[in-house]
Structure 1
Amino acid sequence: MDVTEYVLSAGKAVLDMMEREWQPLNAVELEHQLDKAVEQILESDLASTLKRKKSPCIYEQLTQSQANAAPQMRTESGSAEAVESQPKRDSVDDAAVQHISELLQSSKAGTRMAGRARLSLSHTVLLSLTLLSERVSYRAVSDRFQLEKGNIHRIFFSFCERINRLEEKLIRWPVGSDAAETLVPFSSLLGKGEQENGKGVPQVLGVLGHTWIPIRLPVGKRVMERAKMKMETHPGSWLRLELVCDHRGQILHCRAGTGLEDGRGTSLRNRLAQQPDLTPSGSFLVARAGYPLTPQILTPYENSCGRKEELFNQTLEEHFGTFDQAVAKLKARFQRLKYLDVGNFERARAVVLTACVLHNVFLNTGQEFEGPFETEEAPIPEREVAVDEEGILHRDGVAELLFKNVNSARI
């Protein structure tokens, strides 16, 4: 490599660094920086004058006031980062900010967040949680945090990227002792001593379902996606979020897509069939009609012909209520999921996954959502997309056991 190539390589590296670290200031940010610089110059001149005149008391008071008014400094990864003035915290709890900051700091999810402004980690988390928790525009957050709007956009998606890297750690399928703690009886009407074909009481590991997340796409892309998806009920500007939740509302499985990848629950069905240890003996998932009926996933009877089938379907509805509440709380805590103004599906997936990971973080730390929330209307029943003989036999066995218990209790 000759000198010219070395120079070109060095120049490219410098340009890349400038593009990563520098962004133009908007009017608000520029005015803020100018006011700050002028104030520092005036205070420095006044302090020098007072010091020369030997007025120690006044000088000490001024020095103390300067120290109190100066921006706080924090250190992250060995470099000092200026902390912005404290914005109001309407919907973001201080404990949540601290916990997520510690989680990111202790993880290997990445280095400093992207963006020109060197925010402290806690303020980066606060900014990102504000965008997730409130339905506010980037312009409003720009005014609140005194940052350029485009820079906030970069900081937010850098935060989402780092949280996404924690998915495998925080959204985990329960196995072993964790699975045992997750299992709940299929029905309270089934006593602990009941047996089904020599097995223990039927137990539910989780509820499989989905919800839809609306997305704003550019006009041209929106038309193209609608034509590609050929969906009347849900156009291309919707993202389907497939979840498995346990009885506490914790997310065990999360998958976001446009509906093009495969049928409902197909990949999960295949995974459970190939790895039987994921569903302990006598346990299964429950799902609404439209999902595959298998030994690992039980769905309602489409045509209830008798009391046995109706009792089974009613019991499933109790579990579906748990799932609906979990989804409602997820959307109530993270208001941005009610309408994602992100422009493309990849970024939409990143935001949705971030919300799901943080949902588990809050549950694991005992921070239950206590605000008002509204559950979505139950989806229109759909026909079963796939049925196998073992699934039919398993469902019939559980329904028969439940029906016998109810009748014996009445006698």
Structure 2
Amino acid sequence: MEVRKKKVAAAGRVIMDVIQAEWEPLSHWELDQRLDRAVEEMIGADLVALVQQQSASQQEEDTKPPDLAQKVTPLLSECALQRSQVTEAMEANPNVQYVTRFLQSSNTCYSKNRLSGRARLSLSHTVLLSLTLLSKRISYRSVSSSFHLEKGNIHRIFFSFCDQVIAQQDRLIRWPTAEEAPQHLLPFSSWLSPNEGLEKRGLPRVLGVLCDTRIPIRLPAGKPDSDGEAPEAKKLKIEPHPDSWLNLELVCNDKGRFIYCHISKGSEKDRGSALAKRLQQHPEMVPPGTCLIAGVGYPLTEQILTPFSTGRSPQENLYNRSLGTHLGRFNQVVADLKERFQKLRYLDMGNYDRAKAVVLTACLLHNVFLDMGDVTKGLVEKSTMEDVEEVNKDAAGVKMRETVMNLLYSSL
């Protein structure tokens, strides 16, 4: 080492002389300082490399089980603590207990849907995991540490839970029978006195409110986006790609319970066509003297009354205000749904069938929680009035709407 240091020092002196001849402002002292620093750095680099080589071989020889145990023991303690916290959260959550009992009382067999070779959860832990994913905007990865499951396994367990709930669709979302309907009727207008006798003259009572909301989803892979469009097309485009959301069409009753649910792709524009056809085939679904209230753009029939697209007279404005009360109630129910199940504010999945399963599961659980008396209030988002033209107006519907409008105006 000393020999190498002397050789480096000699070479440095030669370089110093050359630099001094070409660049006079540097003094002998400054050049000496720089030379010493360069030699120290070279020697230091050699020493560091030697130490690293020795420490690597020493670590291979000194690896012992006690050291591994010291590292693993705190991890096991942390895992045990997290498991206890999950169990405490499960036992303290009445919603988890209620949904667990509900699924246990159903005819579904949860154990048959488990895959061999994968981590298994009890039904109550599965419910807690799934409700956590539905109620918050979190990813599978963020809950994997709490439940000690890999991301793919959480994905499988969650959609297995959705399948279990969807299997109860006929039990949870059910149209009222003729005997049940009178218990859920609302007056057409809240400011009318029941003694005015307008119902005897043909003013219907409201069985439910039909409307829809959008559930944003991730644009499926391979779909075109606006970047590839011409500048003129970009300017005219005011909405995102229709495959980037789902249409959630619902009918809610006086208690905010869903009695009808239809989910379609954003590109499907036929509002209420499926329900209107069903009512036409089964008119007994809407008893005489009752009707459904729907938004603009839905079919106007004798059983489904819609607002005027733009009120042009006092009569039409009065009629629209009466319907607006019912439509506002629907907006509150949707706000409650999205507040309870915040995952519906944006589904980070481009698969239509899986996104539909999540939305349907949330709607079914909405009714489950109403049955147990658990109510969540959400903030209604301000929305601009849609510029939608009236479509699918039949003669009976137009006549019925005019009759109701005149009855309301005569009450003034």
Tell me the TM-score normalized by structure 2: 0.73
CA deviations 1:337-360 (Å, max 9, x no partner) are: 011012300000000000000001
Instruction: Decide whether aligned partners of structure 1 residues 214 and 396 sit closer, same or farther in structure 2, where only a CA change above 3 A counts.
Output: same
d(CA) in 2 for partners of 1:106 and 1:153? Answer: 25
Q: CA deviation at 1:85?
A: 3.9
Report the Cα distance in structure 2 between the residues aligned to 1:210 and 1:231, rounded to whole angstroms: 22
1:240 partnered with 2:247: yes
SS in 1 for 2:215: strand
Q: Is the 8 A contact 1:325 1:375 kept in 2?
A: no
Displacement of 1:88 in angstroms is 8.3
8 Å CA contact 2:220, 2:244 repeated in 1: no
- Displacement of 1:261: 4.9
Deviation of 1:217 (Å): 3.5
Offset of residue 327 of structure 1: 0.4
Q: Which runs of 4+ in 1 moved over 2 A?
A: 83-93, 109-115, 188-201, 221-224, 230-234, 259-262, 302-305, 372-376
Deviation at 1:241, TM superposition (A): 0.5
SS at match of 1:342: coil
What does 1:8-407 align with in structure 2 at a 5 Å threshold? 84-87=83-86, 94-112=93-111, 113-114=113-114, 116-195=118-197, 201-221=203-223, 233-235=239-241, 236-261=243-268, 263-370=270-377, 372-406=378-412
* One-letter amino acid matched to 1:280: P
Letter aligned with residue 396 of structure 1: E
Task: Kindly state the Cα deviation for residue 177 of structure 1 after the two structures are TM-superposed.
Answer: 2.8
d(CA) in 1 for partners of 2:395 and 2:102?
46
- Displacement of 1:110 in angstroms is 3.5
Tell me, in whole angstroms, the C-alpha distance in 1 between the residues paired with 2:224 and 2:391.
28
Relative to structure 1, the CA distance from residue 377 to residue 89 in structure 2 (aligned partners, 3 Å threshold; closer, same or farther) is: farther
> 1:205 touches 1:279 (CA, 8 Å); kept in 2?
yes
**Cα distance per residue 1:209-259 (max 9 Å; x no partner):** 1111111144314659x99xx985242111111111112211111111114
Helix, strand or coil at the partner of 2:239: coil
What SS does the corresponding residue of 2:246 show, helix, strand or coil?
A: strand
Q: Percent identity?
A: 47
Q: Which structure has the highest helix share of the two?
A: 2
Match of 2:43 in 1: none
* Secondary structure of the corresponding residue to residue 219 of structure 1: coil
Secondary structure in 2 matching 1:366: coil
Whose Rg is larger?
Answer: 2
For 1:242-284, what per-residue CA distance to the aligned partner results, in whole angstroms no more than 9, with x for missing partners? 1111122111111111144561100111111111111011111
Cα gap change, 1:185/1:314 in structure 2, threshold over 3 Å: closer, same or farther? same
Q: Which residue does the alignment assign to 2:7? A: none
Offset from partner CA, 1:117-140 (integer Å, 9 cap, x none):
221111000000000001111111
1:362 alignment partner AA: F
CA–CA separation in structure 2 for the residues paired with 1:152 and 1:296: 45
| Rounded Cα–Cα distance in structure 1 between residues aligned with 2:314 and 2:273 | 30
Cα offset, 1:89, TM superposition: 8.1
8 Å contact kept, 2:178–2:285: no
Q: Which residue in the other structure is 1:59 paired with?
A: none
With over 3 angstroms needed to count, the CA separation of the structure-2 counterparts of 1:203 and 1:222, relative to structure 1, is: farther
How much does 1:90 deviate? 8.1
CA distance 1:193–1:280, shift in 2 (3 Å): farther
Letter in structure 1 aligned against 2:411: N
Contact 1:289 1:382 in 2 (8 A): yes
Q: Which runs of 5+ in 2 are unaligned?
A: 1-67, 230-235
- The residue identity in structure 1 corresponding to 2:316 is E
- Paired residues of 1:109 and 1:165 also in contact (CA < 8 A): yes
Q: Look up the match of 2:40.
A: none
Partners of 2:325 and 2:308 in 1: CA distance: 15
Task: Give the CA deviation at 1:307.
Answer: 1.2
What CA RMSD, in Å, does the superposition of the two structures yield over aligned residues? 3.4
Q: Quick one: structure 1 residues 397 and 354, their matched pair in 2 at CA, closer, same or farther if it must change by over 3 Å? A: same
Letter in 2 for 1:316: L
Contact 2:83 2:146 in 1 (8 A): no
Quote the Cα distance in structure 1 between the aligned partners of 2:83 and 2:122.
Answer: 8
SS at match of 1:136: coil
The 1:386–1:219 alpha-carbon spacing in structure 2 relative to 1, beyond 3 Å, is: same
The question of whether the paired residues in 2 share the 8 Å contact of 1:273 and 1:296 is answered with no
Distance 2:381 2:405 in 1: 28
